[in-house]
Amino acid sequence: MTTRTFRAGLSLVEVLIALGLSSVAMAAIVHSTGAILAARRSAGTNEHAAAIAETTLEDLLARDPLDLSARDARDDLTDGGEAFTRHTVVEAGPTDDLWSVRVEVESARGSTRAELRTLVLRPFGDPE
C-alpha cells in the first residue's frame, strides 16, 4: 500500500492566481481613488458657486425694496482659486408690487451651476 505525503505550502499556480486577483483589486482601488478625488473637487466647486449666489442674493435683499431697479448684469469673479461667472437679473414680477430676483453662478469650466430665485415685495411710492 502506498501512502501519499502532503507538503505544506502553495503551488506556483496558486501564487499566480493570488497575484492576478490582487492586481485586479489594486487597479479597482486606484480607479476608485481617482473618481473620489474628482467628486470631491466638484463638490467644492458646487459649494463655492452656491455661496457666491447666496451672498449676492442676500446683498440684494438687504437693500430697501424701493431701491431695487430692473437690471441684467453679468460679471466674472474668482473665489477659492476657482473662476466663476455671476449673472444677476432683477425684473418686474408676476404682479406690479412683486419683483423677481435671480442669481446664477457658473464655474468657468461650465461644470457647476447654482441658481437662486426669489420674489421681493416692492410697494408703490414711499412707505409712510
Q: Please state the length of the chain.
A: 128
Contacts of residue 121, Cβ cutoff 8 Å, sequence gap at least 6? 65, 97, 98
pLDDT digit string (tens) for 15-72? Answer: 999 999 999 999 999 989 988 988 888 888 889 999 999 999 999 889 888 888 889 9
Contacts of residue 79, Cβ cutoff 8 Å, sequence gap at least 6? 48, 51, 52
Domains parsed from the chain with CATH numbers: 12-121 (3.30.1300.30)
pLDDT(125) > 60:
no
d(CA 77, CA 68): 23
Q: What is the pTM of this model?
A: 0.68
pLDDT digit string (tens) for 105-124? Answer: 999 888 788 999 999 988 76
